[in-house]
Amino acid sequence: MNPDPEVRVSEIPTAAQVRKTLADLANPTDAHHLQRFFKTGPGEYGEGDIFLGIRVPATRRVAKQFPTLPLAQIDELLDSPMHEERLAALFILNARFADASKPRARDDKAREEMVDLYLAAVRRGRVNNWDLVDASAENIIGPWLLDKDDRALLFDLAQQDSLWERRVALLSTFAFIKAGDPSTTLELAAILKEDHRDLIQKALGWMLREVGKRVDPAALTDFLNANAPELGRTALSYATEHLDPEQRAAYRAMR
């Protein structure tokens, strides 16, 4: 099997070309493993998802072959039943959004079109596993809102029942944390702390940990002093990972 086949990309690349390139990398053994790892069985969070069996670095390399894939073709891939096709679409969308965000060539109209496309895919359930959310939210929604005072979009997402919309809200704030602003993360954490679904608690604890690690340890401990009793064990474990053992024990004792 050719480990990384390349296609001759036409002047206007297509979703079909991306599919063909990915299909040539499919590995049934890896597909079986990935379907178990991403919980695709009945009643699990990834129920019904189908994997080709392609590792993430290879999917990234395929995405890099199609930097000018039109938005309509990206949207077509986002509706694919194949997980790696959706992931490749998100990698391409990330790159296109980054290009449109470069200071000397910033194109806010194009950026808004990409945000709208992404949010529509999220809301119709196509960004529907934790790796898809984590690969995209902080690269699209986060930068889009970074210089805006109105971040109501994230609070709207956080109010939805959808696990994935809520995780998008949280992970989008990673862009703010990296820019030194923990405020929206902490506001969302106060809303979502009582959602004890594992993938929300993990995201919540992760973002809180990053607040303390990258921005302000006091902001983390202030939040924990007020909210630790209501956090799930997983979120609290993640959030306190970089605190000293005595602090971790004290917060665990508050539950």
Q: State both tokens at 225.
A: 């002093």
* Rounded Cα distance, 152 and 14, in Å: 35
Q: Is residue 1 scored above 50 in pLDDT?
A: no
Q: What pTM, to 2 d.p., does this model score?
A: 0.93
Kindly state the average pLDDT of the residues 39-58.
97
Kindly state the average pLDDT of the residues 49-53.
98
Report the pLDDT value the prediction gives residue 9, as an integer from 0 to 100.
Answer: 47
Q: Is residue 243 scored above 50 in pLDDT?
A: yes
Band (pLDDT 50/70/90 cuts) for residue 255 is confident
Cα distances (Å, whole numbers) of residue 78 to 28, 139, 141: 22, 16, 17
Q: State both tokens at 59.
A: 């999917």
Kindly state the average pLDDT of the residues 8-17.
81
* Rounded Cα distance, 33 and 40, in Å: 11
Handedness of CA 236, 240, 245, 247 (dihedral sign): negative
Q: Please, are residues 238 and 208 in contact by the beta-carbon 8 Å criterion?
A: yes
Terminal alpha carbon distance of the chain: 53
User: Which 3 state secondary structure label does DSSP give 45?
Assistant: coil
Cα distances (Å, whole numbers) of residue 231 to 146, 179, 243: 27, 26, 16
Q: Please, are residues 142 and 174 in contact by the beta-carbon 8 Å criterion?
A: yes
